[in-house]
Each structure stands twice: as C-alpha cells, then as structure tokens.
C-alpha cells in the first residue's frame, strides 16, 4: 500500500446531523465474498483488495466469480505508476488499472512470487477486458471530517457495497 495525498477537492457539504435513513448496527457482507487468499511476502495488498471487491460484485450479481489474477493487477498498477520492484501500489492507481484494463483469470497469470517483476504476456490484457470495473469512487475527499467519512463508509456498506481502504503499517508495530 502506498499512501497518496488526496488532491481532488469536492465541495464541502454541510453536515446534516439528522441522517435521512438509519444505518443498521450490524452489516455482514461476508456471504458474497470469495475465499481469503494469502499474498505471501509481496506488497500486493491493493491488488488483492481490488480483486476481492470485483469477485464480491460478480458473486453477488451473477452467483459466481472468476479467480482473478492479483499478480497481473499488481504489475499493471506498478507499470502505470512507473515504479520498479516490489514497492507496493496505491489503491487509486490499482482501481484505475482495474477500470482501464480489467484483470485476467488467475490461470492466465498465476500468483508466483518469483514472477513479481515479469511482464504478463499480451494475451493477458485481452483476457483482462472481460473483467473490467466500470466505475469506482472515492469516499474520502479533501476536508472531509472523520465523522462524515465514517458515515459515508457505513452508508455504502449498508447499501451492500464493500469498500477498500488502506493504512500505513510500520515494521516496529
């Protein structure tokens, strides 16, 4: 995960202290998620998170999902960021790549850690177009209060949509 500054400003909406709907006290979306996977020693968490989101939506909408290739998405995101090596990728760039290229099935580009810096073959990009994200959006914008952000996250979850977020984890923790 690479933290990035939120450069996009949206009009600061005044907080209405009276929500127009009630958020349930418990929200459980786990039924629709694909099995949890292990990223191993690579810094590919954003690719795994984006793929979990994609597979959730496929499963919820179609009752099935393809095992997507996190290694492809991780490499394509780093290519778009113009960085080399296993340095991580930002959530925003990973989602941009998912919307732009999509992601191929795992069988087309398997998750083998020693292939982290290898370029996926061109046919993977052709496969990837079958699994593109049409839209994504930010919940945090410049100037948003913690209270408003938390309400937005809860609202999105209550509507049945998972969200991705990141935080810095120091090795001393």
CB of 82 within 8 A of CB of 112?
A: no
Q: Are residues 106 and 157 in the same domain?
A: no
CB of 62 within 8 A of CB of 102?
A: no
Structural domain total, the chain: 2
Whether 32 is in a domain gets the answer no
Whether 100 is in a domain gets the answer yes
Domain containing residue 44:
40-135
CB of 45 within 8 A of CB of 88?
A: yes
Whether 27 is in a domain gets the answer no
Using one digit for the tens of pLDDT, what is the confidence trace for 64-112? 999 999 999 999 999 999 999 999 999 999 999 999 999 999 999 999 9
Q: Are residues 80 and 50 in the same domain?
A: yes
Whether 31 is in a domain gets the answer no
The confidence band for 41, taking pLDDT boundaries of 50, 70 and 90, is very high
What would the two tokens of residue 135 be? 């839209």
45-62 and 70-81 are packed helices; what angle lies between their axes, rounded to 10 degrees? 130
Whether 16 is in a domain gets the answer no
| SS3 state at 82 | coil
Q: Are residues 66 and 127 in the same domain?
A: yes
Using one digit for the tens of pLDDT, what is the confidence trace for 137-167? 889 888 999 999 999 999 999 999 999 998 8
Count of CA atoms in the C-beta half-sphere (13 A) of 147: 7
């Amino acid at each position: 995960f690479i933290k990035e500054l939120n450069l996009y400003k949206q009009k600061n909406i005044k907080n209405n202290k009276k929500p127009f709907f009630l958020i349930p006290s418990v929200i459980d979306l786990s039924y629709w998620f694909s099995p949890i996977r292990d990223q191993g020693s690579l810094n590919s968490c954003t690719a795994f998170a984006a793929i979990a989101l994609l597979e959730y939506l496929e499963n919820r909408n179609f009752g099935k999902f393809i095992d997507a290739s996190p290694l492809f998405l991780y490499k394509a995101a780093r290519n778009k960021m113009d960085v080399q090596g296993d340095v991580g990728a930002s959530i925003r760039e990973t989602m941009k790549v998912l919307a732009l290229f999509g992601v191929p099935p795992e069988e087309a580009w398997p998750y083998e850690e020693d292939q982290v810096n290898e370029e996926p073959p061109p046919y993977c990009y052709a496969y990837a177009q079958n699994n593109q994200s049409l839209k994504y959006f930010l919940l945090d914008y410049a100037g948003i209060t913690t209270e408003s952000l938390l309400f937005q996250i809860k609202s999105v979850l209550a509507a049945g949509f998972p969200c991705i977020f990141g935080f810095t984890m120091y090795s001393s923790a």
